[in-house]
Amino acid sequence: MPRAGGFFAAHGPRPDSRSARHAGPGQVAIRDAREADLEQIAAIWNHEILCTDATTDTEPRDQVAQSEWLARHTESYPAIVVVAAEDVVAYGSLSPYQPRRAFARTVEDSVYVKRGRRGAGLGSLILAELIRRAGVLGHHSMLARITAKNAASLRLHERHGFYRVGVERESAFKLGRWHDVTIMQRRLDGIRWT
């Protein structure tokens, strides 16, 4: 994956954290997630929960759970979407890695792309923006916990400068089988943010 901001360096200016990048017909824009996006985010998320091992979560989210999820994503832990017209085609977020104060500047990322829209660089767009925002917000390190068989997500994170730092052996049970979980990490210091 390109270095942080690599997508934006090649495709134009970076968006402000509060506004969408304007896009013409057939293009996409990236912006903060809104309450109006939650039904579409839930559709993407719930498919992954029910049908894949891309997440180790097992409980689908209803409207109340989605609203609570968005409320937890404050300015320090943003949730963002990629939209094509009004269609949410990908989303991602930063979350606290651990609740303890010592881990306050370490975040965990999540990236999901709608079925039928994968392979078009949308996951890369989301992850590059999350890395950029994490740096601007003063976070020091990003981690991703990825089921070990999720080759696409592992490659995505490697292309964006994440390294494999560990494997939790058979730590998650979902869809009738045990899953290893790969831990990937990227430090954010030493990067100039504009």
- pLDDT one-digit tens code per residue, 125-149: 999 999 999 999 999 999 999 999 9
**Average pLDDT of the chain to the nearest whole number:** 84
All structural domains of the chain: 6-14+28-187 (3.40.630.30)
**The pairing of beta strand 106-113 with beta strand 177-187:** unpaired
pLDDT for res 9: 29
In the predicted structure, residue 107 carries a pLDDT above the cut 90: yes
- pLDDT class of 192 with cuts at 50, 70, 90: low
Q: Name the more confident of 112 and 7.
A: 112
d(CA 140, CA 191) in angstroms, rounded, equals 10
What tokens does 108 get?
Answer: 């965990």
d(CA 135, CA 27) in angstroms, rounded, equals 26
pTM, full prediction:
0.83
- pLDDT class of 112 with cuts at 50, 70, 90: very high
What tokens does 112 get?
Answer: 């999901």
% of residues, the chain, pLDDT over 70? 84
d(CA 91, CA 45) in angstroms, rounded, equals 9
The torsion angle over the Cα atoms of residues 23, 131, 184 and 100, rounded to 10 degrees, is -130
* Residues 45 and 51: beta-carbon distance below 8 Å: no
Which amino acid appears at position 1 of this protein? M
Give the angle 87-107-136 at the CA atoms, nearest 5°. Answer: 75
Structure confidence by residue, pLDDT tens digits, 71-83: 999 999 999 999 9
The distance of Cα 16 from the centroid of its chain, to the nearest Å, equals: 18
In the predicted structure, residue 42 carries a pLDDT above the cut 60: yes
Structure confidence by residue, pLDDT tens digits, 167-189: 999 999 998 899 999 999 999 97
d(CA 156, CA 144) in angstroms, rounded, equals 11
Average pLDDT rounded to a whole number, residues 157-167:
96
